[in-house]
């Protein structure tokens, strides 16, 4: 399968999974944010999927860059800035002399580092980074493994542990931080949507597609 068709398969599965969990994400955001997160994520996915024809025959780095710019110019809010930073910086780090696994691990690491810088946040602050940083670490640890299904299962686990860890954290970044200690006991909506996205990608690798509702 080409990078192009694989990328859009990921995107479609993410879109279907987010749609399936839409009410849950919105509820999480209303608990500790202001309820705009799910709409921003869904707008971003819709706009990204609309690039399918335009991006045919493009290399992975070109696809990531163009989708990143699309998200940057259509989503807004924190998620627009952060996810576009992730994708654009992943594209910049692309190195096709590396094995696929190593290339992905390197790109993801660079993307996540850029996100940390953009948001001024790090592990343990009750944000999407509590999912993305452990996933990046795991990708690098597993970059020598050959079995893509084994990698996908491990990544899925890391994402879920990271997402669940946000429940007991006190938010220090983003709108949830205005709640202070009242943010404890709620899973971070950005962490949940990121984990759903990672899970959806892994599920494509594991041949478990979520059908459109």
Partner 1 sequence: MKKFVNNVDNILVESLSGFENAHNDILKVHLNPNFITRKSKPQNSKVALISGGGSGHEPLHGGFVGFGMLDAACPGQVFSAPTPDQMEAAAKHVHSNKGILFIVKNYSGDIMNFEMGAEMLDFENQTIIVNDDVAVEDSTFTTGRRGVAGTMIVEKTVGSLAETGASLEECKKFGDHVNTMTGSMGVAFTSCTVPAAGKPTFDLSNDEMEFGVGIHGEPGRKREKIRSADEIASGLISVILEDLKPENEQEVLLHINGFGGTPLMELYLLFESSKKILDKKNIKLSRSLVGNYTTSLEMAGGSITITKLDQEIINHWDSPIHTAALRWKM
- Give the CA count within 13 Å in the CB-facing half-sphere of 177: 8
Q: Of the two residues 92 and 118, which places its CB atom closer to partner 1 in the complex?
A: 118
Residue ranges binding partner 1 (CB under 8 A): 26, 30, 33-36, 39-40, 43, 72-82, 84-85, 118-119, 172-175, 177-180, 182
Q: Of the two residues 118 and 137, which places its CB atom closer to partner 1 in the complex?
A: 118
Residue positions counted in the chain: 213
| Chain CA centroid to CA 116, Å | 13
Give min distance, CB of 17 to partner 1, in A: 20
Give min distance, CB of 101 to partner 1, in A: 30
With beta carbons less than 8 A apart as the criterion, state whether 172 and 125 touch.
Answer: yes
Q: Of the two residues 42 and 140, which places its CB atom closer to partner 1 in the complex?
A: 42
Give min distance, CB of 85 to partner 1, in A: 8
Give min distance, CB of 121 to partner 1, in A: 9
CA separation, residue 97 to residues 91, 93, 101, 102, 138 (Å) = 14, 12, 11, 10, 21
SS3 193: helix
């Amino acid at each position: 399968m080409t990078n192009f068709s694989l990328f859009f398969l990921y995107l479609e599965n993410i879109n279907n999974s987010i749609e399936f969990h839409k009410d849950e994400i919105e509820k999480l955001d209303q608990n500790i944010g202001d309820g705009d997160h799910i709409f921003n994520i869904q707008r971003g996915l819709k706009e990204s999927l609309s690039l399918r024809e335009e991006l045919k025959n493009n290399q992975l780095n070109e696809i990531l860059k163009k989708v990143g710019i699309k998200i940057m110019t259509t989503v807004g809010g924190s998620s627009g800035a952060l996810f576009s930073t992730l994708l654009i910086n992943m594209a910049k780090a692309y190195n096709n002399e590396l094995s696929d696994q190593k290339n992905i691990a390197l790109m993801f690491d660079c993307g996540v580092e850029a996100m940390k810088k953009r948001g001024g946040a790090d592990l343990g602050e009750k944000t999407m980074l509590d999912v993305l940083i452990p996933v990046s670490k795991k990708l690098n640890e597993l970059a020598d493994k050959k079995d893509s299904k084994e990698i996908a299962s491990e990544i899925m686990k890391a994402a879920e542990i990271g997402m669940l860890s946000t429940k007991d954290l006190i938010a220090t970044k983003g709108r949830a931080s205005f709640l202070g200690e009242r943010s404890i006991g709620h899973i971070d909506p950005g962490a949940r949507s990121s984990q759903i996205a990672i899970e959806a990608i892994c599920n494509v690798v594991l041949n478990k597609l979520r059908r459109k509702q």
